[in-house]
């Protein structure tokens, strides 16, 4: 399978070759800058690109409740994504990951496909560098949420994103706000869904 980037897609999250591999984090993974080093992905920009449907429970995943009353809103919870833009660069963190950590990220990043971005990354370490880009279904969910007026972002996620990006690339924080058009901000509490 090929990604819309033209390179091979790791959408099935298949095994990677033995050796060192890394993940380029541009969203919630930038929260801990001590775990990696700052790198830049050329030809991309950060967008609000994917969502989960908060009405649906997936074993081993998550849902959200309103912090004020514990109710479960029927919303599409949005997360950042990247998309090609030859005029832009996305600053993030390059994180070394073990095979087990990569499998855990594959499980966590259910709204995304894993792709190899080694050739598009400045300060690329020796080894494969993977990134997670919005899956077709994750992007469709956000489109549905925007059209229905039910697309939201968790205030905790947004605040963490602002802080993490601000620590490594303060000039990129301002670009997050205009991209929020059509997405509300709710004070949500994350709830883990048991594996079953």
CATH architecture of 20-192: Roll (3.10)
Residue 12 reports pLDDT greater than 80? no
Backbone angles phi, psi at 43, to 5 degrees: 75, 25
Q: Are 54 and 31 in contact (CB under 8 A)?
A: no
Backbone angles phi, psi at 143, to 5 degrees: -60, -45
Q: Which among 105, 112, 92, 96 is positioned nearest to 40, based on CA atoms? A: 92
Cα–Cα distance for residue pair 53/64, rounded to 1 Å: 10
| Lowest mean pLDDT segment, chosen from 8-22, 61-75, 107-121, 180-194 | 8-22
Q: How far apart are the first and last CA of the chain?
A: 31
Q: Where along the chain do its domains lie?
A: 20-192
The pTM score is 0.86
Quote the percentage of the chain above a pLDDT of 90. Answer: 71
């Amino acid at each position: 399978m090929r990604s819309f980037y033209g390179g091979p897609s790791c959408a099935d999250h298949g095994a990677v070759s033995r050796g060192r591999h890394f993940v380029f984090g541009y969203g919630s993974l930038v929260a801990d800058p001590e775990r990696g080093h700052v790198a830049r992905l050329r030809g991309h920009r950060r967008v609000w690109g994917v969502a989960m449907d908060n009405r649906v429970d997936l074993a081993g995943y998550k849902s959200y409740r309103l912090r004020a009353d514990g109710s479960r809103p029927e919303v599409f919870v949005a997360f950042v994504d990247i998309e090609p833009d030859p005029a832009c660069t996305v600053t993030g963190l390059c994180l070394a990951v073990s095979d087990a950590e990569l499998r855990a990220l594959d499980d966590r990043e259910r709204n995304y496909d894993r792709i190899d971005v080694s050739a598009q990354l400045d300060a690329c370490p020796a080894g494969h560098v993977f990134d997670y880009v919005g899956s077709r279904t994750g992007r469709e969910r956000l489109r549905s949420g925007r059209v229905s007026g039910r697309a939201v972002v968790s205030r905790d996620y947004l605040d963490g994103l602002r802080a993490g990006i601000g620590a490594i690339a303060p000039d990129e924080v301002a670009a997050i706000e205009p991209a929020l058009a059509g997405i509300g901000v709710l004070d949500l509490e994350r709830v883990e869904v048991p594996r079953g």
